[in-house]
Chains A and B, each alone.
Chain A
Amino acid sequence: MTFSSPTATESTWQEIVYRIANNIRLRVLEHTLKNNGGYMSQACSAAELFAALYTKIMKIGPSEAPMVPPPFLGVPASDNPHYQTGRGYNGPIAANLDRFIFSPAHYALVLYTVLIEVGRMSPEGLAQFNQDGSSVEMIGAEHSPGCELTNGSLAQAISQAVGIALARRIKGDSGRVFVMMSDGEFQEGQTWEALESMVHYKLDNMIVYVDVNGQCCDGKMCDVLNIEPLKPRMEAFGARVFVVDAHDADALAAPAEVEPDGRPVIVLCYSDPTRGLPLLNTRAPKLHYLRFVSEDERETYRNEYEKMLVELKGS
Chain B
Amino acid sequence: MEILSKIHARNLVEWAKDRPEVLVLSADLTSSTEADLFQKAYPERFFSFGLAEQNMMSAAGGLAREGFLPFIHTFAVFIYRRAYDQLVDSVAYPNLPVRMVGFLPGITTPGGITHQAIEDVALMRAVPNMTILEVGDATEIESVLDVTLDISGPIYLRMLRGEVPRLFAKNEPLKFNQARVLSQGTDITLFSSGICTEEAMRAMAILKQRGVSIQHMHISTLKPFSDPAVLEASAQARMGVITMENHTIVGGLGSAVAEIMADNGIGKKLKRIGLKDTFAHGASRAYLMREYELDALALVQAVEEMVGHELDITETDLQTVRLEAVHSIAKAEAL
Contacts and interface: CB of A to CB of B under 8 A. Distances in A.
Contacts of B86: 156, 159, 190
B187 to A, nearest CB: 39
Contacts, number: 106
Nearest to B47: A166
A153 interface: yes
Interface stretch (B64-72, B113-121, B198-206): B64-72
A78 B59 contact: no
B95 A197 contact: no
Interface string A192-209: 011011001100000000
A126 to B, nearest CB: 25
A168 interface: yes
B58 to A, nearest CB: 3
B118 to A, nearest CB: 25
Given A76-B95, A156-B90, A162 B153 contact: no
Contacts of A148: 65
Interface in B27-84: 44, 47, 49-50, 52, 54-68, 70
B58 A76 contact: no
Interface in A104-127: none
Interface residues of B, number: 32
A93 B47 CA distance: 24
Chain A interface extent, by class: 20 to 34
Given A163-B61, A166-B63, A196 B129 contact: no
A205 B56 CA distance: 18
B49 A197 contact: yes
B320 interface: no
Given A76-B95, A167-B68, A162 B129 contact: no
A272 interface: no
Nearest to A190: B54
B65 A163 contact: yes
B58 A160 contact: yes
A6 interface: no
B90 A160 contact: yes
Given A193-B52, A194-B55, A161 B62 contact: yes
A200 B58 CA distance: 17
Contacts of B66: 163-164, 167-168, 171
B129 A160 contact: no
B94 interface: yes
Contacts of A141: 93
A31 B266 CA distance: 56
Contact of A156 (B68, B70, B89): B89
Interface of B: 44, 47, 49-50, 52, 54-68, 70, 85-86, 89-90, 93-95, 128-129, 152-153
9 contacts: A149-B90, A150-B93, A153-B85, A159-B54, A159-B57, A160-B59, A164-B63, A193-B54, A196-B55
